[in-house]
Amino acid sequence: MRLAHEVRRTVGTLADGRRIIYYDDTEGAPERRAVDTRDLGPRELAGHLRYDALLGDWVAVAGHRMNRTLLPPRDECPLCPAGRSGGASEIPEADYDVVVFENRFPSYAPVADDDVVAPEGYLHRPALGRTEVVCFTSDHDSTFADLTPRRVRTVVDVWADRTAELGRDPDVAHVFCFENRGEEIGVTLHHPHGQVYGYPYLPARTAVVLARAREHHERTGRLLGADLLAAERADGSRVVLTGEHWTAYVPYAARWPLEVHVAPHRDVPDLVALDDAERDELAVLYLDLLRRLDRVHVAADGGRIRLPYIAGWHQAPVRAGRDVSRLLLQVMSVLRGPGKLKYLAGSESGVGGWVTDTRPEAVAARLRDLA
């Protein structure tokens, strides 16, 4: 299936100076010229980062996020187009295909408050970076799994575009594209959307994965991600879906009740490096996976349970270890059964000692059966 198509990109400015970018894949879509007339005042500045000396990691302090919008009623959704949200919309157009804008309540921003002074013996720095919102559709009641393959292909192009642009920012060290779905995950807005973070440092998981990848490459001359994919494909017991360019599998040491990794067959460092054929197949295979995940759990009345999940793209850092890093999509859920959540309790939260209640092979078999 060939899904590659033209996407028109239009850049605008919101009332407080934040950028908004429209990505139109609908033939004949109107020009994006609507003006944001809200009285928002100045944009929020980024907070600052504090260094955790015990773990060697940074923590962002962003007090303004305490006041961000929390699960508003449908007619006040800030991600619906203007005219459907009672004046609360962040998107001034009457409709849209895919849209990206800078978060009004950013964890990281291009301008930061430099007045914070760290106490003696502690380290801090401005939380310079990027925090963007990606709206996949203007349909409030939809989900990513309801999108057409063509629209998913557009979203893949958008992720790649944001990765490339944010990667050119000298303040950004790592770009992470992700989606949170479901109140169990902690979403604050129901409208189908994701985010893109441009971190000014390497987050802890990224730094650990990079260190492991470097060690493996120095020892074997091969990419760790490629070797793990080859092992999963050779074993086969945890493979869920496979195509010409991609394989989806439950990892051997899965930590979450439901966890699936989606990996390209070709060695690529990030979304930007994917070619048209890889992007086309990804759009179809990813939809297949998400629709299977939505059939895993059945409610007491026989209805389906839309799986709460986090889906995140692990990419090579912007300027470090690109020669040993390999692209990977991780989809994970805290739901272990209807009404039953996986809590990160004493062992996981206290010392990071994970215990999983399900065998990865059984999860993979269940997902294969849900074709």
Weakest mean pLDDT among 53-62, 63-72, 118-127, 131-140: 63-72
Is 164 a domain residue? yes
Residues 55 and 158 occupy one common structural domain:
yes
pLDDT confidence band for 114 (50 / 70 / 90): low
Residues 212 and 344 occupy one common structural domain:
yes
| Domain count of the fold of the chain | 2
Q: Does residue 75 have a pLDDT over 80?
A: yes
From 157, 182, 201, give the residue that closes a domain.
Answer: 201
Task: Give the residues across from 48 on adjacent strands.
Answer: 61, 126
Among candidate residues 268, 233, 206, the one with its CA nearest the CA of residue 364 = 233
Residues 326 and 228 occupy one common structural domain:
yes
Residues 283 and 218 occupy one common structural domain:
yes
Residues 18 and 134 occupy one common structural domain:
yes
Residues 221 and 179 occupy one common structural domain:
no
Q: Does residue 335 have a pLDDT over 80?
A: yes
Q: How far apart are CA 19 and CA 257, in angstroms?
A: 38
The residue range of the domain holding 275 is 205-369
Residues 58 and 171 occupy one common structural domain:
yes
Residue 186 · residue 341 · CB < 8 Å? no
Is 2 a domain residue? no
* Mean pLDDT score, 227-251: 98
The predicted model scores a pTM of 0.95
Residues 196 and 209 occupy one common structural domain:
no
pLDDT confidence band for 178 (50 / 70 / 90): very high
From 201, 221, 242, give the residue that closes a domain.
Answer: 201
From 143, 171, 201, give the residue that closes a domain.
Answer: 201
pLDDT tens per residue, range 223-235: 999 999 999 999 9
Q: Does residue 344 have a pLDDT over 90?
A: no
Greater confidence, 258 or 303?
258
Among candidate residues 309, 318, 308, the one with its CA nearest the CA of residue 270 = 318
Is 66 a domain residue? yes
Is 3 a domain residue? no
Residues 182 and 234 occupy one common structural domain:
no
* Mean pLDDT score, 138-150: 96
Question: What CATH number should be reported for the domain holding residue 323?
Answer: 3.30.428.10
Is 330 a domain residue? yes
For the chain, give the mean pLDDT: 93
Is 102 a domain residue? yes
pLDDT confidence band for 88 (50 / 70 / 90): confident
Could you give the residue numbers annotated as active site? 193
Q: How far apart are CA 71 and CA 215, in angstroms?
A: 44
Residue 58 DSSP symbol: E
